[in-house]
A and B are shown apart, each in its own frame.
Chain A
Amino acid sequence: MRFSALLRKELRECLPWMLLAAIVFLALGGFFLRVEIHYRNPSWYYSRLSPGTIVESSLFTYYSILGIMGPLLLLSSIGLGLVLGIRHFWIPNFTRTWPFLLHRSVSRKTILAAKLTATMIAFVISLGPVWIGLYWYACRPEVFPIPQTPRVFIEGWIFIMLGLVTYLGTALSGLNTAKWYTTKIFGLVFAALVIFTIFPQCSLVWIFTVIAVSAAILLSRIFDTFLRREF
């Protein structure tokens, strides 16, 4: 009951940012997708094919029609992670509301679990349905004849997970009591390193392993810091 009350409170705090991320992603993503569908004409794309010529191999490599939304999804996800991390772990330092939150008769573990659960729910229900909806729309034959590959759908979820890693990095930096120019920034730097490591990867198994290991490292450090730190 206490956990659910805390969870509701955290979700209330997340709500404006969740809505903002979902609206921005839906509006801009939908617009970009419409423009892309309108302008990407396969007949024009292959008009360079002419009899008796060698075809450059680059003509056959093709980004998904949803590719136009990739940077937007990534930015929305990282942005949401940053904002929620700051909202949950940095703002209480400035508003001095940590003691108010911690004096309740719930353990610190429950408080932290409520924050993390609220964030996961926020990511899943703000960006997840929009991504599923846009993917489903792009897969309809009347929109674009070639269905999108399932891999692109999974990659979209990887981008959403990178937002969660950013959140964890921001949370760790927020909880650290060192100076910002020393080890305080390491949480965010670590999250940035994970994002840079993911990008040139080809294997989905490797990508999920990197995300899982880095999330485990950040989570263990967040729990340790939060349970030990004096507020």
Chain B
Amino acid sequence: MSLSEGPEQPRIGVDEWVASAEERRARSPLARAQDAIERVPAAVKLVALVVPFAVFPLFVDSAYLMQVGIDTLVFVLLALGLNVAVGWVGLLDLGYVAFFGIGAYLYAAVASEYAGRYWDAAIAIPVIAVAVAVSGFLVGLPSRRLVGDYLAIVTLFFLQLWLVVLINASWSRGPNGISDIYPLQFFGRQVTSLDGYFYVALIAFVVIISFLYLLNQSRTGRAWRALREDELAAELMTMPVSRLKLMGFAVGAGIAGVAGAIYAPVQGAVFPANFDLVLLITLYAMVVLGGAGSLVGVTVGAVLINGLLEALNDADNASWIFYGVVAIALIALLRPWWQPIAVLGSTVVFGFAVHEIAEQARPSLVGGATFGDSRIDRLVDSWVLLPQNILTGDGLPTGWLGRLAYIALVASVLGLTLVRSHLWRLVGLVPVLYLAACVWANLLVSQPAVARFVLIGGMLVGLMAYRPEGLFGKQRVEIV
């Protein structure tokens, strides 16, 4: 058996087809566009991310919208910090919100009438960032050998512990919170306007996203990604896995601390209820929607979710968003192009038919009007079933149809997922869509606080089914 291969022998393993993959790829315009986007320098991407924020105050003159803008930036900071543990290191950290709380309460401890101190923010924010990072390190210490569900349980316990302490301790004033927090003050100059706070949060965003980008492009970032892929292999390839995990915990916690130190003076008060599970779930939704692991993704995810949550508070916007999302989802998911049109058209016809029959049989079924009064609500008034007693409640309890339809909707959506044939699925979609419109007009539109979570939840479920890696995330291959 000779040990050398002759040049005339076929070269096994050197696959021309694979080698020419680049050339073949270059022929597709979509791939070329993707490559072009990838080649854009990071600094340009950063500017593209920041400019829309930076001009936001110039076009907005309502205090409410400025407040929403500041909240959105705080959410972006929180999502960026959560992404370190969840997206990069791959740790399911359910105690993350506690670090936000620690940061906020620490600010209250160094700058409030209650504490009797007023630190300059130029000192307070860095000190709080480091202090909260250290607390993240300490929380990580006992749990660094845990993975997956076990880590999730331990960190969730830590969050609950933190909340219980906050609510019951005297130094935190219990559920009443600390409400006389001083505004941020840089080098003796107080930040007084909402615009000022917005730009402080924006500067924090630029600093933190740059910090994270550079960190990710270093040996530390590589090691995080490696240990997320395979802990044992990373450890055996010279990477100190426990220490790297603790570092991830600490970095994420420190960022949450900065967010807290900005949030507390914006609100002027901190309460235990600000740092609960709802916030945690919202943050996870942001990271998951945007794409865990992608800095641009989690930023966009946070803006989208917070923007939607705010927009959905208003019944007029909410109806537009509801009908819009349904239509866009149909167009995006059904191929070829005539299928969404056919389904939407059939739904409209189906609705009018049902409406007509109901009117003939029992006029009270369609005599009502919805709570929402945007143009689109008035449009669907004469199309969906709206019982007369929707607001007055004579005879049957108020909103009975909405509640009944809600249960029927959930059941029929589940039923629809069991249908195998594509054609029958399309057919089944028509009454389901109509049912959804009835639920919306009868029930959800009058309860925006509930409706927004239902709608966002539905959108997330749909997105996860068709794009599990999130909007900007990279698809991961687990087993090959």
Decide whether A and B are members of one complex. Answer: no
Q: Which residues of B are interface residues toward A (Cβ below 8 A)?
A: none
